[in-house]
Amino acid sequence: MINLWTRIYLGCLAGTFALLSGCADTHQLARAAGKGLTSTQQTSAYVGLPQDGRLGHITYPGSGALTAQAVAVAFSPYFGKVTVGMKTEDFAGAQQTAKAGEHTHLLYLDILHWEDRATEWSGRPDQAAVKVSIIDTNTGETLDSAVVSGKSGLATFGGDRPEHLLPKPLADYAATLFRPR
């Protein structure tokens, strides 16, 4: 028989666990089967600037630049040089710019989902999903691709944004992709 104080303690403990589990962001990495890459100081990457994310009729200005910057930071330990595009380009345009800049790789991005919510008021989480394709600029071959995504916890206490959900899954993806130097 469990006494009253033990029941209260266990109830508080369960409630605390439930509250804290709602605070955690979740991240996913869905990677297509690809080739491992070897990074050297001679390799370089051009990060194509994607179109800003949209949700229905809402466009999130600057989300493309924030996404490109997050990708550049995640991949910079593996390339001798990483350059972020200055304007949005389609795939062919980004390939041409990467070749003209003598980059060995193109990191082409597509924002699949971008949702910035007032989670603390609405109970709806922030979400972001980005497809990253890694292209060999000399051959045009797609070496690897993945979709990285994140979803905020429900108890965010304000200040969280979709771009805050990207650094961890992008860094995890980059780490699994490259063989050590």
Q: Residue 17 pLDDT > 70, yes or no? A: no
The helix-helix angle for 167-177 and 63-75 (nearest 10°) equals: 40
Domains and CATH numbers, the chain: 25-179 (3.40.50.10610)
Query: What mean pLDDT comes out for the span 120-147?
Result: 86
Query: What mean pLDDT comes out for the span 130-152?
Result: 92
Query: What mean pLDDT comes out for the span 52-81?
Result: 94
| Residue from 152, 86, 164, 70 nearest 119 by CA | 152
pLDDT interval class at 53 (50, 70, 90): very high
| Residue from 173, 174, 156, 160 nearest 27 by CA | 173
| SS3 of 28-42 | EEEECCCCCEECCCC
Q: Residue 138 pLDDT > 50, yes or no? A: yes
pLDDT interval class at 7 (50, 70, 90): very low
Structure tokens at 174: 């980059």
